[in-house]
Structure 1
Amino acid sequence: MSRHAVRSTPSDPHAKAGDVVTPKEPTSFDRAGATPMMAQYLEIKAANTDCLLFYRMGDFFELFFEDAEIASRALGIVLTKRGKHAGSEIPMCGVPVERADDYLSRLIALGHRVAVCQQVEDPAEAKKRGPKSVVRREVQRLVTPGTITEDRLLDPARANLLLAIGRRKVSEHAHAYGLAAFDISTGRFSLSEVADGALSAAIARYEPREIVLSEAIHSDPALARLWRDTSAAVVPLAQAELEPASAERRIREQFGVATLDGFGQFSRAEIAAAGAALLYIERTQIGTRVPLSAPSREASGATLSIDAATRANLELTRTLSGDRKGSLLDTIDRTVSAGGARLLAEHLAGPLTDLEAIGGRHAAVAYLVGEPSLCGPLRDALASAPDIARALTRTGLGRAGPRDLAALRDGLDAAARIADRLAEPKDAPRLLKEIGEHLAGVDTGLVAELAAALADELPLNRRDGNFVRAGYHAEIDEARKLGRDSRKVIAALQARYAEESGCRTLRIKHNNVLGFYIEVPQAVGEACLKGLMKDFIHRQTMVDAMRFTSVELGELESKIAGASDRVLAMEGEVFEHLASLVLAQTEVVAGVAEALASLDVTASHAELAIELDWVRPRLDESVAFTIEGGRHPVVEAALRRGGEPFIANDCDLSGKESGRIRLVTGPNMGGKSTFLRQNALIVVLAQMGAFVPARSAHLGLVDRLFSRVGAADDLARGHSTFMVEMVETAAILNQATRRSLVVLDEIGRGTATFDGLSIAWACLEHLHETNGCRALFATHFHELTALSQRLTRLDNATLRVTEHRGEVVFLHEVVPGIAERSYGLQVARLAGLPKAVVARAGAILKGLEASERDRPTRRRIDDLPLFASLADAPPPEPAQPVPVDEGIGALVDELDPDAMTPREALDALYRLKKERARNA
């Protein structure tokens, strides 16, 4: 594996998200003069230089050298020292084994990779080799952002994707990129291929936690921005490890087939991507075979193309601030299971372009909307189904615990009950019938076996034991009885010894060093040594007590210890037996998990439609776009929480009774951006298979959705707001087709007025004449409205505003026509600008408007009309001085902000506050 490994590696704990950095080699791997334990550590660390090494020592995972310094800073734990190496003290820190997952999750979130090194030998066995022998240890797993499987490290509502990228050359200057998307936590595996220009959109759609690719792809200058922008950890692999023949061989070996023909036809780029991912998975899992579903291939153009900027602008899965709350996903999520929540996010990220598939989803939702007596019980049963997809994967990897088996038991039981309910209606649509058929495949015998074997209260780890139900295994019951009875036997033995010795305070106790022992006061102990209790064997003398054992007590201890060990061993055998029963039906269980998730998403859409009065959209192959009473789902939800209504609006871009491009003018705060976004979101909802917030909707299938809404700088790359705006607009104009929907808000506002107007004008013409797409175009350049007289497929619309007693009232109604004013001054006043500033702005505005009226006869500065009118505006009112206490002024004059530390600045602030209070 390449050592140009991941962002935020041990050598750079503070690297920003998506960076790929080269880790610094540790100071020395020289084991000369090292203790045996440290020599072992250095040997293991030398093989894992691109990871933090969690080195198991008893009940702790220890970290040393630079790893310790990084972990100490990242986790906020104490950094200490342990001996010396090469003349320098060895930094060290550690975390308890039982809390290791908590610390791992924090390190993974920061982008680190962690090698988990476990003890693979009992310390007693190591001692047999000699007093200086070290317990054998091995790295059993590399924990990376894209390969984690533990529930405590995963977001239950989000897929944890590893995305591998391969490529092939299609012309002298173009490539096709193969994408292999793996979710190791559930076994999902899909392949697709995209063109050069679609790679960024594909990465944005998948939102991977980790990206694996060849060094050649990673070092391609044309793609440098992609790796810089992504929040995923990026892992380049050496080109020599990714030969086409070895990639295909890995796929065949993974699925145990002689040829890939049975899976369909894959491109060379897709095979390269799959091979790279399987190589990486094999290394991170240290050779453990990961149970994966057969690869499914997504046809080109199967999903609605949405680029990264549009996803961000529309806030599909997270808001612009990065939060899930307030996003479209958060607003529409009514799922009741983890698998359903993940599938809903997947559907939202990749709306379909296949009419038959979309129609199938709509039909299933419509059926449940019409059958609330069926939908409610189905949702109740789904809510009782645990996450069996991830439990199945952990079972296949040998990482499952008793609670995973219980999750499989309960999930399969819920599936069987749901299958019975779905079998009742005979007129159910095809999707619901297919779901029912998958669920009907549950082996009720397996469910019964798991129910009979597993106790009601279960430990997290199998090593803790006591998870087999009483009555399931006779030998376990017998051994447990011995353990329970031993307490009575110990108590009886203690009573007999107390009577024989005449010592009423004699006690039989236990610790991990001595095991069971007899403890008596010092005086009685002396008597025992002189023959009072001939069976007693002296073990230890304390300050005020003496400890003994006896042959009888030793034999009893052996029986008790043996019984406990036998119970753990037998419970382990039961666990392996149950796991093997589950894994024998891996394909069936995986299908059940997918069916449950699909049903949950369908029922979620139905619940949403019933709750919010959403309707089934009509989709076809036309270029229609007619929405009556459309609403913005997120804004409406926010208003509903405050008890306010949302004003619905129509939108017709069909090109029949109206144009295919709608030019929207209107005041700030009038609702232009909301109107634009809501129509784009209705398309996404319709094509993902959901109902939509409208009275009715007739949509011709959209192939690409583009949205340029809002302003954002990209100062890290030296890009201004206007530059970002132009880059995103260029992508739209170059890629939009007749079937696309384009949403543009305020194009050209980030530069000089005439420059911006010219650019907006030209963009409108290009959309109309060249792209021919459906578009919503909001602007404050009212001059553009005149284009409707020349561009036949362009209509004007505006947001209604009224004035009441001098106050502006925004009605948020979209009507045909042109805005008379932008009401910018009123909005500025509402925002709290100083009255003097608003008044001055009003005076300037009057001058500008007068200048515009006089322009035909007054052309004193033709090229600078804005500045020419300034002479007519009244001068600004002089600013009123703000009184300042002389004492405070003197204190301020003494301050030198550039030379002050944060503490000195805080002290100065307190002095000013104190002086102000004194003068009040």
Structure 2
Amino acid sequence: MSQYTPMMQQYLSIKAAHQDAFLFFRLGDFYEMFFEDAVKASQILEITLTSREGGQNGRIPMCGVPYHSSAGYIKVLVENGYKVAICEQVEDPKQAVGVVRREVVQIITPGTVIDDHLLQDRENNYLVSIDKQGDSYAYILCDLSTGEMKGYLYEGSHLPFIQLLLSQGIKEIVGDQSLHNEWYDYLSQNGQASISIQSDSEIEGKFSHLAENITPPLLLKAAGRLFQYLSFTQKRSFHHLKAVEYQQNEKRMKLDAFSKRNLELTESIRAKGKKGSLLWLLDATMTAMGARKLKQWVEEPLFVKETIEKRLQLVENLIGEFFIREEMKEQLKSVYDMERLIAKISYGNASPRDLVQLRRSLQSVPVIREKINQIDGDYARNLYEKMTDHGELADFLASALCEEAPIQIKDGGIIKKGFNAKLDEYKDASMNGKEWIASLEQQEKAATGIKSLKIGFNKIFGYFIEVTRSNLSMVPEDRYERKQTLANAERYVTPELKEKERIILEAEDKISGLEYSLFLEVREHVKQYIPGLQQLAAAISELDVVQSFASISEQYHYVRPVISENGNVNIVGGRHPVVEKVMDAQEYVPNDIHLNNERNMLLITGPNMAGKSTYMRQLALTSVMMQIGCFVPAESAELPMFDQIFTRIGAADDLVGGQSTFMVEMLETNFALTSATENSLILLDEIGRGTSTYDGMALAQSIIEFIHEKIKAKTLFSTHYHELTVLEKTLPSLQNVFVSAVEENGRLVFLHKVIDGQADKSFGIQVAELAELPEAVIRRAKTILNSYENQQRNEPDPSIKEISATEEEVMESQLSLFSENHSQKIRKEPKEVDVIKELRSINLLEMTPMDAMNVIYKLQGKLK
């Protein structure tokens, strides 16, 4: 250290304890960075890299950002996954001996931001703390900006677990060194969340009340790790943190990352944005709190019938009370983000304007309470009871703060007249003094006869009388004392002006200091209301979500679903809610879905683009909507509660993870097959299409049989392998359905209607024609298809000279060989005459290859 100046020694000693963060080192009006921090920050922030003398080694790299505009620079760093350690002066420079003492007062990380400009209003900002033991994980989601903490247990391998976390919008992951080593590369490559190390997981006494609702030892360790990390980074008390809510698996529908993505619950697959998702459709919330609550509900549907029914009942009641609902919505518009205002009050960085927003929010609560009290039902009554209006706090804030209070504490104009007598006295002195000065100008003009005389003020010279040079002969030298000479004027003071200046400036200085201290007292007073305010905010956010459900349900003519006790799915006139909203509702073709314990699997065939995937997603989204307590898009609907939904819909790969589309398909399918129960819903689309026909067909059939025999879950399985439709004859719970389409004048017309039965062809070339492939390609494809079909009928096509044998040809040749060999054998063995008669009766031209293989298998069994 001795080679550096004392100040740089101080910098390096502080930086040594915060190696993983940019150190914002306060020097005067700037935050400065040095050495590697400066080089890297100058590139990321696009600011000038300079240097300064650092000691014996000469100049060192340096860059800095102004203190008052640092927020924007911090935002850039944090959004890029970096941490920023704020190092402030913690003693008065006038009293310092040597270098002013400095300390890190806060570490801002992606998961611990609390400032408005670093947050998305309608989304949570989650930090997750993790502990593991083998394949068992405990994790706690914490949104420091709202005080929410939720605890979970998870069983399984690490990759699906990471993907589950990332699907919830995690910004930062906290674990021990081993977790960091295991996950760092994957997270760095995906760039979606940063990972931080916190070794200590002990729960200190000051945090024990926050863990009182959890008992699993692994979850307690995750909680301790979280609390230790928050203490280290934030270096303050947390009055607004709520006790950890243990989210028991049996009380919620489990949705893995694959299903959340494939169903487009919170973001669309193509655009990676909210628009086009179920969340986008359902969001008619009036508050930021409600929007965040809605997202939480969509990501974690319920598996508790009583709670679902209470929500559905309140939605129904609100639909029936249009005028009450509209008045309630109007009041909700005036409610600010109370959850985050409370957090800022707890942190001690709420501004005067924040408290004014809190007061305005509280003033809307009495009307909201009055309206919800007019709605029937236990849920409405429960919300009403939680909505304490805190009228005394609203009155206190109204009496303390000016209506148009500023953002900055030191800008003045914060405290309302009448709140503090001493402050009013100072303000009167200041105001009267300024009025006296204004009248003095008129008096001096009259006394001296100088019409251009004026009284001015600046921070250096204070108040002064200014006289132009042309009028200097008229200045009364016995009263005027020269203070400053300008090019075209002279400035003077008088004894009276000096005295008034002293009174005014002294009053203004006292006003500023007293207003600041009074505001701190007001803010501290509000802290005692935090628990009640949090309960109020939670009730308002729930009400906001339910009124959103009612508004959307009424607008789009949704119906209240019936929760089935016996596992039946009976949806009449069901629609895909998002597709219906995007397209003209009058053009949307509704479909029925019927499943029960005897018919629990639908094998769906039909051409591409006909709507198979839409039909499958429609059932899943309808189920999610019911289990979050919303009405559903149908003429009528009876649904069971599903404990889990598994989907494999659409093609995707993971190039970063080195996984092909087919590998991802198999991984997602494996997760469903190993995790599903008979109370689950499984949606599998085109399984096996990523490999050869035989491989794919064999896998598809095996998967269908496994689900049918072992899992017995409600399942929709779409395929282009028409050969699989024969399984309806051997699997009693499987029903063939198909999405109908017709050809008109050589063009394909989709009817989008799902009916019982099987499709007779895939219409692949017709779909390609709709996609406007080059005409030459379409013509050639039709020629090749004719050749395949002719060869199946043993009719050579001279237009194709050489063509490789298709799987269908191979199967045909195998069947022919089988027929010939066994015909010869039967002539020698009369006892097998029944088999040959059955073989001769078969019409190969009316059979699919899979039908033929099944017949061969059956006959072969008889021969044995």
- TM-score in terms of structure 1 length: 0.82
Q: 1:567 to 1:178 in 2, by over 3 A?
A: same
- Deviation (angstroms), 1:791: 1.0
Q: Paired residue for 1:50, among 15, 20, 32?
A: 20
Which of 423, 430, 441 in structure 1 is aligned with 2:378? 430
For the pair 1:532 / 2:477, whether they are aligned, the reply is: yes
Structure 2 residue 806 is matched with structure 1 residue 865: yes
Secondary structure in 1 matching 2:777: helix
1:68-91 deviation per Cα after TM superposition (whole angstroms, max 9, x unaligned): 333333233344444566645444
Q: Secondary structure at the match of 1:166?
A: strand
Q: 1:821 offset after TM fit, Å? A: 1.9
Identify the residue that residue 297 of structure 1 maps to in structure 2.
246
1:14-45 superposed Cα distances (whole Å, 9 cap, x missing partner): xxxxxxxxxxxxxxxx46343x6545444433
Alpha carbons of 1:100 and 1:225: their partners in 2 closer, same or farther (altered >3 Å)? closer
Note if contact 1:146-1:162 (Cα within 8 Å) is conserved in structure 2.
Answer: yes
1:372 paired to 2:322: yes
How far, CA to CA, are the matches of 2:327 and 2:24 in structure 1? 47
1:160 pairs with 2:160:
no
For residue 697 of structure 2, what is the amino acid of its counterpart? L
Equivalent-residue separation in structure 1 for 2:90 and 2:445 (angstroms): 44
Supply the AA of the counterpart residue of 2:111.
Answer: G
Q: Name the structure 1 match of 2:207.
A: 254
Q: Is the 8 A contact 2:34 2:60 kept in 1?
A: yes
Match of 2:282 among 319, 332, 346: 332
Q: Secondary structure at the match of 2:249?
A: coil
Whether the aligned pair in 2 keeps the contact of 1:254 and 1:289 (CA below 8 Å) is no
Match of 2:543 in 1: 599
Which residue of structure 2 aligns with residue 5 of structure 1? none
CA gap of 1:733–1:864, structure 2 versus 1, over 3 A, is farther
Structure 2 residue 511 is the aligned partner of structure 1 residue 567: yes
Q: 1:129 to 1:783 in 2, by over 3 A?
A: closer
* Counterparts of 1:176 and 1:548, CA distance in 2: 82
Paired residues of 1:666 and 1:780 also in contact (CA < 8 A): yes
Cα offset, 1:512, TM superposition: 3.4
* In 1: Cα distance, 2:473 partner to 2:111 partner: 66
Kindly report the root-mean-square deviation, in angstroms, between the aligned alpha carbons of the 2 structures: 3.0
Alpha carbons of structure 1 residues 797 and 255: separation in structure 2 relative to 1, 3 Å: same
* Aligned mate of 1:189, from 149, 154, 160: 149
d(CA) in 1 for partners of 2:529 and 2:140?
Answer: 25
What are the residue-to-residue correspondences of 1:116-515 with 2, within 5 Å?
116-121=86-91, 126-127=93-94, 136-167=101-132, 169=133, 174-197=134-157, 199-200=161-162, 202-204=164-166, 206-220=168-182, 231-238=192-199, 241-242=200-201, 246-247=202-203, 250=204, 252-254=205-207, 263-320=212-269, 321-425=271-375, 428-439=376-387, 441-494=388-441, 507-515=454-462
TM-aligned CA distance change 1:490 to 1:371, over 3 Å: same
Counterpart of 1:733? 673
Classify 1:350/1:814 alpha carbon distance in 2 versus 1 (closer, same or farther; 3 Å). same
Find the aligned partners of 2:52 and 2:794 in 1 and give their Cα distance.
Answer: 85
Q: Are residues 335 and 775 of structure 1, via their aligned partners in 2, closer, same or farther at CA, if it must alter by over 3 Å? A: same
- Counterpart of 1:438 in structure 2: which amino acid? K
Aligned-partner Cα distance in 2 for 1:855–1:216: 67
Question: Any conservation in 1 of the 2:450–2:474 contact (CA below 8 Å)?
Answer: no
Contact 1:205 1:349 survives alignment (8 Å):
no
Deviation at 1:561, TM superposition (A): 2.4
Aligned residue in 1 for 2:844: none
| Structure 2 residue matching 1:670: 3-state secondary structure | coil
Query: 1:602-650: CA deviations, max 9, x gaps?
Result: 111011110001111112443222221111111111103xx75211111
Question: Which whole-Å CA distance do the structure 1 matches of 2:808 and 2:618 have between them?
Answer: 39
Judged with a 3 Å threshold, the aligned counterparts in structure 2 of structure 1 residues 488 and 136 are, in CA distance, closer, same or farther, namely farther
Q: Which amino acid aligns with 1:313?
A: N
For the 8 Å contact 2:653–2:660, the answer to whether it is kept is yes
CA distance in 2, matches of 1:224, 1:460: 42
Partner of residue 32 from structure 2, selected from 48, 62, 65:
62
Q: C-alpha separation between the residues in 2 aligned to 1:571 and 1:56? A: 26
Closer, same or farther in 2 for the Cα pair 1:60/1:129, shift >3 Å?
A: closer
Cα deviation for residue 459 of structure 1 reads 0.9
Q: Please list the CA deviations of residues 835-891 of structure 1 after superposition, one character each: whole Å capped at 9, or x if unmatched.
A: 1111111111111222234499xxx9999425979xxxxxxxxxxxxxxxxxxxxxx
Which residue is equivalent to 2:623? 683
CA contact (8 A) 1:501 1:532 kept: no
Q: Distance in 2 between matches of 1:574 and 1:162?
A: 35
Determine whether 1:843 maps to 2:783. yes
AA in 2 matched with 1:615: V
- In 2, the alpha carbon distance for the partners of 1:729 and 1:224 equals 25
Give the secondary-structure state (helix, strand or coil) at the position aligned to 1:266: coil
Deviations 1:437-465 (CA, angstroms, capped at 9, x unpaired): 011x2231221121222222121122222
Q: How many residues align?
A: 803
Structure 2 distance, partners of 1:507, 1:32, is: 59
- C-alpha distance in 1 between matches for 2:464 and 2:8: 37
Quickly say closer, same or farther: Cα 1:789–1:454, change in 2 above 3 A. same
* Stretch deviating more after TM superposition (291-300 or 70-79): 70-79
Question: Contact 1:382–1:600 (CA<8 Å) still a contact in 2?
Answer: yes
Structure 1 unaligned residues grouped into runs of 5+: 1-29, 870-920
Structure 1's 308 and 526: CA in aligned 2 closer, same or farther, altered over 3 A?
farther
1:95 paired to 2:65: yes
Q: Which letter maps to 1:278?
A: F
Residues 490 and 61 (structure 1), Cα distance of their counterparts in 2 relative to 1, 3 Å cut: farther
Asked if 2 retains the 8 angstrom alpha-carbon contact of 1:369 and 1:610, the reply is yes
Query: Computing the radius of gyration over CA atoms, which structure comes out larger, 1 or 2?
Result: 2
Q: What letter corresponds to residue 32 of structure 1 in structure 2?
A: Q
Cα shift readout 1:772-823 (whole Å, capped 9, x = no counterpart): 1111111111111111111111111111112223221111111111112222
Conserved? CA contact 1:305–1:705, under 8 Å: yes
Q: Would you say the 8 A contact 1:848–1:866 is kept in 2?
A: no
CA 1:67 to 1:489, structure 2 compared with 1: closer, same or farther past 3 Å?
farther
TM-score (norm 2): 0.87
For 1:168-213, what per-residue CA distance to the aligned partner results, in whole angstroms no more than 9, with x for missing partners? x4xxxx4432222211111112222222357446525643221111
Q: Is the 8 A contact 1:536 1:548 kept in 2?
A: yes
Q: CA 1:226–1:495 in structure 2 vs 1: closer, same or farther (change >3 Å)?
A: closer
Residue aligned with 2:737, SS: strand
**Per the alignment, in what secondary structure is the counterpart of residue 716 of structure 1?**
coil
The residue aligned with 1:558 is 502
String of CA shifts for 1:539-590, please: whole Å, max 9, x gaps.
x555555556565544433322221222223323332333233222221111
Contact 2:252 2:303 in 1 (8 A): yes
In structure 1, the partner of 2:813 is none
Partner of 2:830: none
After superposition, the Cα gap between the structure-2 partners of 1:820 and 1:533, relative to the gap in structure 1 and judged at 3 Å, is farther
Shift of 1:527: 11
Instruction: State how far apart, in whole Å, the 2-side matches of 1:70 and 1:515 are.
Output: 45
Percent same amino acid at aligned positions?
36
Aligned to 2:843: none
Superposed counterparts of 1:424-823, under 5 Å: 424-425=374-375, 428-439=376-387, 441-494=388-441, 507-517=454-464, 519=466, 532=477, 536=481, 538=483, 552-640=496-584, 645-656=587-598, 659-823=599-763
Q: Partner residue of 1:827?
A: 767
Query: Does the residue aligned with 1:433 lie in a helix, a strand or coil?
Result: helix
For 1:278-320, what per-residue CA distance to the aligned partner results, in whole angstroms no more than 9, with x for missing partners?
1111111123335211222222332111111111111111112
